[in-house]
C-alpha cells in the first residue's frame, strides 16, 4: 500500500461540506469523523537555516557541472557529492529503519539509501541541465488517455502526486509535452529552502523554471486558504488538470493509516476537492 494511493468510498453530499470516507488501498477505511484534525498557524520562518549555506554551495556546484560538463560526467558529480555526505554524516538510523520497514538485509538498505542520496543530488543537476540545455531528464508518459477522456467530457482531473524527489518536475514536463499544462498547487516554501531567505531569494528560481511547463501556480496561503481553494475549484470546473502533492505540509484534516510497519498521514483535501468540484 502506497501512502499516496488513497481512494474515496462513495460520493459526497453535494451542496454540503460533508466529507466522504477515505479508503486506503490496503482496505483501511477512514470515516470523516476519524480524520485527524489540526489547527494551522502562519509560518514563522527563520531568516537562514543551518542547511542553507551547504545547500547554496551545492546548488552552485550543480549549476557549474550542468553548464560546463558533458551530461554523463555532470551526473557523476552527484555520486561524488552523495559519497561525501555519507562520509561526513554516517548516520546509521535511516538504514536500520528502512531495513525494518522493507524487510531487506542491512546491505540492501544501505544500497537503497545510497541510491536515494545520489538521486537527490542528480535531481539538482537535472534541474540545471534542463534550465541551460533542455536535456536534464528523459521520460516516457503512459496513461495520458485517461486525462484526454476526462477533459474531453468537460471534467477536470486532480493528479495526487507522491512526495518524491523530482515528482513535480517530471510530472509537469511530461504532461506539458502531451499538451496538458497543469495548474499546480504550491507553497512559498516549495523549491530550495523553507527559510525566509530561501522563500525570498532562492525558491522563485524554481517556480520560474516550472512556469515553462505549467498553466499556472496556485499558491496556498495559510492565512487565507479559501483563496487557493476557490482557484482550484474554478480550475477543475473549467475542465483543467490540477496537481497536488500527497503530503501533510498543508491541510486541516489528515487521513492516517498503517504503512510499512508504521503510520502514514496525508492531507484529506485533494480527494474531497475532486468530488466537490
- Residues 6 or more apart whose Cβ sits within 8 Å of residue 220: 185, 186, 187, 228, 250
Q: Looking at residues 263-270, what average pLDDT do you find?
A: 83
Enter the pTM of the model: 0.78
> Looking at the predicted structure, is the pLDDT value of residue 115 above 80?
yes
CATH 3.40.1010 assigned to 144-250: yes
pLDDT digits (tens, 9 = 90+) for 193-212: 889 999 999 999 888 899 98
Average model confidence (pLDDT) across the chain: 81
Q: How many CB atoms lie within 10 A of CB 38?
A: 13
Selection from 28, 246, 29 nearest residue 20 by Cα: 29
Task: Count the neighbouring beta carbons within 10 Å of the beta carbon of residue 62.
Answer: 23
Q: Is the pLDDT of residue 258 over 80?
A: no
- Rounded Cα–Cα distance for residues 125 and 48 (Å): 23
**CB–CB of 156/148 below 8 Å?**
no
pLDDT band at 108 (very low <50, low <70, confident <90, very high): confident
- Inter-residue contact 188 to 219 (CB < 8 Å): yes
Q: Say if CB 35 and CB 253 are below 8 A apart.
A: yes
* Averaged pLDDT for residues 105-134: 86
Res 197: pLDDT: 93
pLDDT 10s digits, 20-75: 555 555 556 666 767 888 877 777 888 999 889 988 988 999 999 999 999 888 88
pLDDT tens digits, one per residue of 150-184: 888 888 888 888 887 788 888 898 899 888 889 99
Q: Which residues lie closer than 8 Å to 239 by C-beta, 6 or more apart?
A: 151, 154, 155, 156
User: CA 170 to CA 141: how far, in whole Å?
Assistant: 10
d(C-alpha 18, C-alpha 175), whole Å: 32
CA distance 186 to 188: 7
**pLDDT for 13 beyond 70:** no
Domain boundaries, the chain: 52-132, 144-250
DSSP string, 120-141: HHHHHHHHHHHHHTS-S-----
| Closest by CA position to 88, among listed 57, 45, 124 | 57
Amino acid at each position: 500500500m502506497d501512502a499516496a494511493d488513497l481512494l474515496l468510498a462513495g460520493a459526497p453530499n453535494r451542496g454540503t461540506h460533508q466529507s466522504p470516507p477515505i479508503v486506503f488501498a490496503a482496505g483501511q477505511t477512514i470515516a470523516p469523523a476519524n480524520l485527524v484534525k489540526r489547527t494551522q498557524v502562519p509560518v514563522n520562518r527563520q531568516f537562514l537555516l543551518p542547511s542553507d549555506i551547504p545547500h547554496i554551495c551545492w546548488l552552485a556546484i550543480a549549476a557549474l557541472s550542468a553548464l560546463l560538463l558533458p551530461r554523463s560526467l555532470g551526473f557523476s558529480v552527484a555520486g561524488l557529492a552523495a559519497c561525501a555526505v555519507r562520509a561526513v554524516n554516517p548516520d546509521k538510523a535511516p538504514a536500520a529503519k528502512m531495513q525494518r520497514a522493507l524487510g531487506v538485509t542491512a546491505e540492501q538498505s544501505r544500497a537503497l539509501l545510497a541510491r536515494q542520496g545520489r538521486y537527490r543530488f542528480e535531481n539538482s543537476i537535472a534541474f540545471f541541465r534542463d534550465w541551460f540545455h533542455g536535456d536534464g531528464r528523459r521520460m516516457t508518459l503512459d496513461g495520458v488517455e485517461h486525462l484526454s477522456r476526462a477533459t474531453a467530457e468537460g471534467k477536470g482531473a486532480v493528479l495526487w502526486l507522491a512526495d518524491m524527489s523530482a515528482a513535480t518536475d517530471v510530472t509537469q514536463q511530461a504532461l506539458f509535452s502531451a499538451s496538458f499544462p497543469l495548474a499546480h498547487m504550491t507553497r512559498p516554501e516549495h523549491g530550495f529552502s523553507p527559510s525566509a531567505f530561501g522563500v525570498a531569494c532562492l525558491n522563485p528560481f524554481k517556480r520560474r523554471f516550472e512556469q515553462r511547463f505549467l498553466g499556472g501556480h496556485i499558491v496556498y496561503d495559510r492565512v487565507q486558504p479559501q483563496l487557493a481553494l476557490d482557484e482550484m475549484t474554478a480550475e477543475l470546473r473549467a475542465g483543467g488538470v490540477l496537481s497536488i502533492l500527497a503530503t501533510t505540509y498543508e491541510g486541516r484534516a489528515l487521513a492516517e493509516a498503517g504503512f510499512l510497519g508504521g503510520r502514514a498521514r496525508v492531507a484529506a483535501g485533494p480527494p474531497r476537492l475532486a468530488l466537490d468540484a
